[in-house]
Amino acid sequence: MFADILNYILDLGAAIFLPIIMIILGLIMKMKPRKAIIAGLTLGVAFTGMNLVLGFMFDTISPVAQEFVKNTGIQFNTIDVGWSPMSAISWAWPYALLMFPVQIVLNIIILALNKTNVLNVDLWNVWGKIFTATMVAAITNSVILGFAAAIVQIILELKIGELNQKQIYEVTKIPGVTCTHYMTLQCVIMNPVNKLLDFIPGLKDSKMNADKLKDKIGIFGENSVMGFIIGGIIALVAGYTVKDSLNIAIKVATALVLFPMVAKLFMQALAPIADAAGEYMKKKFKDREIFIGLDWPFMAGQSEIWVVAILLVPLELLFAILMSKMGLSNILPLAGIVNIIVVVPALIVTGGNLIRMLILSIIFTPFYLFVSSSFAPFVTDLARKVGTINIPDGQMISYFGVEAPFFRWIISNGLAGDILGIIGMIIFAVCYYFFVKEMKKRNANL
């Protein structure tokens, strides 16, 4: 009987059942009914809106991508839809909301045991743990292992945030905070490569002024501009007329501009709950000196980030073509093509050295292509379950900016018993050991 009711509710779809849970949660947390209902409905609107834009984008680009493949012989069967639809798909996972208590309780326990001094209040990015869990669960067929992987990720975020705190302060001069976003997990494997760069003369202390460069090329960082250019180029190469290409270009630009606008609705809906949980956690540790773990945008003022992300764009497309030819990837970078995700960890590891950031970002770009392609069947499967968008057979969606590609790939494949995954886990562990050593040494000197 109970199972029947539960199944009926889950069957209503994420856009209905999550708002219901949200309203109940809000009332339990003593939100005013008016606020709880608005928050709940906003969540449903966010899901539906995301489906709408995702469907629009897919309908626009899917035939173009097929023509592109026919015309060029380059296999781009997977379309990069960016992180915002991915967050929606993650939130719609049936076990998603359980990740809130897991992260909060785990953080409190680790703080209480004095094993960290970081409190992660960024409860929006709980979705990144959910995403890891969904991929691990899909590949290992075990929801338990999915949560186990998410727990490892939560701990790593805290420990890496702690190790990076001084370096981030040096770059941003904002006291009392650090970054606990999972993109920083890439710092662990970027560190040894950065050490190798020490051997190249002239790179050690090269200083460049990124501010002026950003003024010149910053326009390409705009979603509308990049969407228009890339959409137009793909359509032209696919053999469309100029008129049709221009129309496709503006539609892709539209989708890329609308994605973050819809994603904002998720934030609005989740804000009251995230805020209440954050306040609760802060209150618990108000007598202790702790660093507050935040999402990455407080570093967004560094011009180097944007300059490197924009310079990377043509190289990403080149790599995508080359790796597709080699059968290593099949994703067409699109919505996530301004890949800040790879640049921010490079900023932290190099301490803001522009040339080194660029070199590291280039070297690590193939990881994002490979892993996003390898996750594509699972992402597509999840998206089909959640949404109303119609993804034809043979076509897939994924997201190029998969934040912690190395970690996510090794943990999902390693836990599934894949030998490469297990070797990767060992490599990651060794890199982590050296990363801890390096950052401790650096922190002592800063």
Partner 1 sequence: MKKIVVACGSGVATSQTIASKIDSMLQDEGIKASVEAVDIKSLDNIIDQVDVYVKIVSGPTNYDIPTINGIPFLTGMGRDAEFEKLKEYLK
As a residue count, the chain comes to: 446
CB of 190 to partner 1, least distance (A): 20
Residues 66, 72, 75, 79, CA torsion sign: negative
User: Considering the complex, what minimum distance in angstroms separates the CB of residue 97 from partner 1?
Assistant: 18
Q: How far is the CB of 344 from partner 1 (least distance, A)?
A: 9
- Left, alpha or beta for 261 (phi > 0: left; psi -120 to 50: alpha)? alpha
Choice between 170 and 381, CB closer to partner 1:
170
| Partners of 178 in the β-ladder | 293
Whose Cβ is closer to partner 1: residue 13's or residue 227's? Answer: 227
Q: Could you tell me the smallest distance in angstroms from the CB atom of residue 78 to partner 1? A: 23
DSSP per-residue string spanning 86-124: HHHHHHTSTTGGGHHHHHHHHHHHHHHTTS--EEE---T
Query: Least Å distance between CB 305 and partner 1?
Result: 8
Q: Which of 83/428 has CB closer to partner 1? A: 83
In order, the DSSP letters of 172-219 are H--TTEEE--GGGGHHHHHHHHHHHHTTSTT-TT----HHHHHHHHGG
The tokens describing 436, both together, are 């801890």
State how far the alpha carbon of 104 is from the alpha carbons of 24, 92, 363, 387, in Å.
Answer: 19, 20, 35, 29
Instruction: Give least dist CB 125 to partner 1, A.
Output: 7
Per-residue tokens: 303? 């011009």
Least distance between partner 1 and beta carbon 218 (Å):
7
Identify the CA nearest to 120 among candidates 179, 205, 41. 179
Q: Which is it for strands 118-120 and 291-294: parallel, antiparallel or unpaired?
A: parallel
Q: How far is the CB of 120 from partner 1 (least distance, A)?
A: 11
For residues 94 and 301, which CB has a smaller minimum distance to partner 1 in the complex?
301
Nearer to partner 1, 59 or 275 (CB): 275
The nearest distance, CB 43 to partner 1, in angstroms, is 13
Q: Which residues pair with 280 in a beta bridge?
A: none
- Cβ proximity to partner 1, 351 vs 421, nearer residue: 351
Minimum Å gap between C-beta 41 and partner 1 is: 16
Complex with partner 1: residue 261 or 420, whichever CB lies closer: 261
Under a CB-based contact definition with an 8 Å cutoff, are residues 181 and 157 in contact? yes
Cβ proximity to partner 1: between 145 and 340 the closer is 340
Residues contributing to the site for partner 1 (CB under 8 A): 84, 121-122, 124-125, 172-174, 176-177, 211, 218, 221-223, 260, 263-264, 267-268, 271-272, 274-275, 279, 282, 292, 294-303, 306, 340
Question: Which is closer to partner 1, CB of 304 or CB of 316?
Answer: 304
Nearer to partner 1 among residue 84 and residue 374 (C-beta): 84
The secondary structure element, H or E, covering residue 292 is strand 291-294
Query: Could you tell me which of 405, 409, 428 has the C-alpha nearest to residue 183?
Result: 405
Q: Compare residues 69 and 96 and give the one whose CB is closer to partner 1.
A: 96
In our burial notation (b when 16+ CB lie closer than 10 A, e otherwise), range 289-327 reads: ebbbbbbbeebeebbbbbbbbbbbbeebbebbbebbeee
Region label for 109, one of left (φ > 0), alpha (ψ between -120 and 50) or beta (otherwise): alpha
Gap between the Cα atoms of 239 and 259, Å rounded:
27
Residue 229, CA atoms < 13 Å, CB-side half-sphere: 15
Q: Report the 10 Å Cβ neighbour count for 225.
A: 15
Residues 385-399 as b or e (16 or more Cβ within 10 Å = b): ebbebebeeebbbbb
Rounded to a whole number of angstroms, the minimum distance from the CB of residue 51 to partner 1 is: 17
